Structure 1
Amino acid sequence: MKRLALFLITACLSVGAMAADVIKGERKEVFGDITVHYNTFNSTFLTPDIAKAAELIRSKEQGVINVSVLKDGKPLMAQVSGTVKDLTSQSVPLKFKQVTEQGAIYYIAQYPVPQQETRTFEIKVQVGDKLNTINFNQELFPGQ
C-alpha cells in the first residue's frame, strides 16, 4: 500500500510538470484555506500490483480520478462525491473511496472510457459544513 500512496500522491501533486499530457493534467482549486488537488487518467497507467492493492480495475476502458484535500499543506478528511457526463449528457455517478496511509488521505473512483471523447466532471468536496464544487472538462482516450 505504500507504493499505492506514493504513486497516487505523486500523480496528483506532481503531474503539473507534464501539463502537455492531456490525460494526466494536474489541477487544483483553492477554497479559502482548503486546497483540492485532482487529476484523472487511464487505469492502464497503474501497475498491476498498485491497481490490485487499490482494488481498481486496470483496463484500457477504465479511467481513474484521484482527489486530495489539504489544509496548510496537510491532508484533510472530506466527503467527496461526483459525476462524470459524456457528450450525450449521460451521467455516471463517481463512487469515491477514501484511502488513508502514512500521513496521506486521498479519494479515488473509477469510470468507463469506452471511446475518445471529452467528459464533464462535477466533483463535490465537503469539509465540515462547507460544500465546494469543482467542474471541469477532460478529453479522455482509451489506453493501449
Structure 2
Amino acid sequence: MTLVSLTNTQAVAADSASPNRQQVFGDLTIHYNAFASGLLQPAIATEYDLTRSKGQGVINITAVKGGKTVPARIDGTVADLTGRQKVLDFRPIAENGSVNYLAQFAVEPDTSATYVFTINVNAKGEQPHTLSFTQQIFSDE
C-alpha cells in the first residue's frame, strides 16, 4: 500500500474547507489531508521516515496541474484552537512518478482536536497560492 492510497482511504477527519480536501486555483489543484500518524501501517511509517505515534499528525500536500503532480515549494503553519502555532517542515516524497509533500506536527494524544492549517504553495510556473483549512484530527486510533 502506498502512502497516497493510505492517506486517501484511512484518514478519519472532519474538514471545514472542502469535502474533497482540495482547493482549485485556475488550472492548479492543491490536494491536502491531515491525519494522526497512528493510522499509518508500521512499514509505511518506516519507509517514509515518519514517526508513528498518538502524539503526532501528518499533513500531505500535492499540487496537480493537467492531471499530473508538479514540483512546488511548500511551507506553512499549524495551530490549535488556543492559538499555539508551529511552522511545518515539508519534505518531498517521490513515488511512482508523482511528488507529495509531507510534514509532521504534534497533536493532543488520545483525543480529537481541531487544527488550523495555513499552507503556502509555490508550484513551478504558477503564481504563489495560500490555502487555509481546519481539520479535526482523531489521535486515539
TM-score scaled to structure 1, two decimals?
Answer: 0.84
Q: Which residue of 1 aligns with 2:132?
A: 135
The one-letter code matched in structure 1 to 2:115 is R
Give 1:1-144 correspondences, 5 Å limit. Answer: 3=1, 6=2, 8-11=3-6, 14-15=8-9, 21-22=12-13, 26-115=20-109, 116-128=112-124, 130-144=127-141
Q: 1:49 deviation in Å?
A: 1.0
The one-letter code matched in structure 1 to 2:4 is I
The one-letter code matched in structure 1 to 2:128 is L
Percent sequence identity is 39
Greater relative contact order (Cα 8 A, min sep 6): structure 1 or 2?
A: 2
Structure holding more helix per residue: 1
State the alpha-carbon separation in 2 of the partners of residues 83 and 98 from structure 1. 17
Between the two proteins, the alignment pairs up a number of residues equal to 135
CA RMSD of aligned residues (A): 2.2
State the alpha-carbon separation in 2 of the partners of residues 36 and 44 from structure 1. 24
Mark the runs of 5 or more structure 1 residues left unpaired by the alignment: none
State the alpha-carbon separation in 2 of the partners of residues 95 and 35 from structure 1. 21
State the alpha-carbon separation in 1 of the partners of residues 100 and 29 from structure 2. 13
TM-score scaled to structure 2, two decimals?
Answer: 0.85
Mark the runs of 5 or more structure 2 residues left unpaired by the alignment: none
